[in-house]
Amino acid sequence: MDATFLQAADQGTPGNVADAPYYLPTGDEVEVFEQCHAQGLAVMLKGPTGCGKTRFVEYMAWRLKRPLITISCHDDLSASDLIGRFLIKNDGTEWHDGPLTRAVREGALCYLDEVVEARQDTVVVLHPLTDHRRELPIDKTGELVRAAPGFGLVVSYNPGYQRMLKDLKPSTRQRFVALDFGFPAPDVEARIVARESGIGEPDARALVQLAGRLRALHDRGLAEVPSTRLLVAAAQLAVRGVPLPRACMHAIVAPLSDEASLVAAMRDLVDATFV
Ligand code: ADP
């Protein structure tokens, strides 16, 4: 047997190891997700943007050997965009499955990113897939699609973001097992930054230290704090030769705020970190 293949039965791990998305667990999320999948429970990943939710789903799809279908939610997303629609053909109309229907038929993992962005009348089409029925009624064709084995529903949700404007209904929330994603512990985050960018460990640790200081500015009005994604971006610039403090200004400070006083406070923290 090819040495790069792990035996699924023995190790609970599938697929070609070389293809595995890099994901460093930060708690028991891998085990809990596997149990949810085995039991057919829908999963909600809660946490700020850029903290590893999408990477986690990619990793779990690889680990569980399921295709992954990702849908980015927005407020124009309609039930038809998820389920499908009749399209005009030369001599009539033809039904086309939407991405949710395809996932249900294929037994894929279906990941709805930022589900809170979708309207309530769109989100309710998920409900029959999240309980014992595990089926998707297609009103326009009269078909009732039962979820193929392996189908899993995953949504992500950023609790801080636009909380005042939008939130999920309790009747929707209670259909999911929730996994909390915060920023990783500093040593874990430094390993991620180093691995994702190729930057040395000392610089990765300094970036994480800076992130800790910047995240504390949340209390002083910084609405969005720097995510692991921004640290990786700064490190990638630095690896390409941009001096680290400049890389931090471009990849971390500027994207986070336009407000002069906050930018100045962040610049001071950058300077203090890389003296
Ligand atoms: P989210 O979906 O939460 O917005 P992503 O999954 O896109 O965030 O994560 C952003 C980036 O941060 C990833 O591309 C990856 O480089 C890095 N990352 C964050 N957490 C992890 C982790 N636990 N393991 C590996 N990479 C991570």
**Could you say which of 3.40.718.10, 3.40.50.2020, 3.40.50.300, 3.40.50.920 is the CATH number of the domain covering 28-180?**
3.40.50.300
* Beta carbon of 226 within 6 Å of any ligand 1 atom: no
Identity of the amino acid at 194: A
| Model pLDDT, residue 132 | 87
Look at ligand 1, atom 8, and give the residue with the nearest C-alpha: 50
Where does the pLDDT of residue 18 fall: very low under 50, low under 70, confident under 90, or very high at 90 and above?
confident
Average pLDDT score over residue span 22-41: 96
* Beta carbon of 23 within 6 Å of any ligand 1 atom: yes
| Model pLDDT, residue 208 | 98
The Cβ of residue 186 has, within 10 Å, a number of other Cβ atoms equal to 13
CA 55–ligand 1 middle distance (angstroms): 5
* Beta carbon of 196 within 6 Å of any ligand 1 atom: yes
Q: Looking at this predicted complex, what is its ipTM?
A: 0.99
Choice between 19 and 10, residue whose per-residue pLDDT is larger: 19
Ligand 1 atom nearest the C-alpha of 58 is: 6
Separation of alpha carbons 274 and 35, rounded Å: 44
Separation of alpha carbons 253 and 265, rounded Å: 10
Ligand 1 atom nearest the C-alpha of 55 is: 6
Chain-wide mean pLDDT for the chain?
Answer: 91
* Beta carbon of 52 within 6 Å of any ligand 1 atom: yes
Taking only the tens place, the pLDDT of each residue in 81-111 is 999 999 998 889 999 999 999 999 999 999 9
Choice between 164 and 127, residue whose per-residue pLDDT is larger: 127
Look at ligand 1, atom 4, and give the residue with the nearest C-alpha: 50
Tell me the domain boundaries of the chain. 28-180, 186-274
| Model pLDDT, residue 263 | 96
Instruction: Answer yes or no: is pLDDT of 2 > 60.
Output: no
CA 88–ligand 1 middle distance (angstroms): 40
| Model pLDDT, residue 50 | 94
Which of 13-27, 41-55, 193-207, 212-226 comes out lowest in average pLDDT? 13-27
Instruction: Answer yes or no: is pLDDT of 155 > 60.
Output: yes
Average pLDDT score over residue span 198-226: 94
CA 60–ligand 1 middle distance (angstroms): 13
Look at ligand 1, atom 18, and give the residue with the nearest C-alpha: 52
- Widest distance between CA atoms in the chain: 71
Look at ligand 1, atom 9, and give the residue with the nearest C-alpha: 52
Average pLDDT score over residue span 198-212: 97
What are residue 143's DSSP bridge partners?
A: 138
In which residue are the tokens 């180093």 written?
Answer: 194
Choice between 216 and 159, residue whose per-residue pLDDT is larger: 216
Where does the pLDDT of residue 270 fall: very low under 50, low under 70, confident under 90, or very high at 90 and above?
very high
Average pLDDT score over residue span 135-152: 96
Choice between 167 and 37, residue whose per-residue pLDDT is larger: 37
Instruction: Answer yes or no: is pLDDT of 25 > 70.
Output: yes
Taking only the tens place, the pLDDT of each residue in 218-264 is 888 888 899 999 999 999 999 999 999 999 999 999 999 999 999 99
Separation of alpha carbons 90 and 83, rounded Å: 23
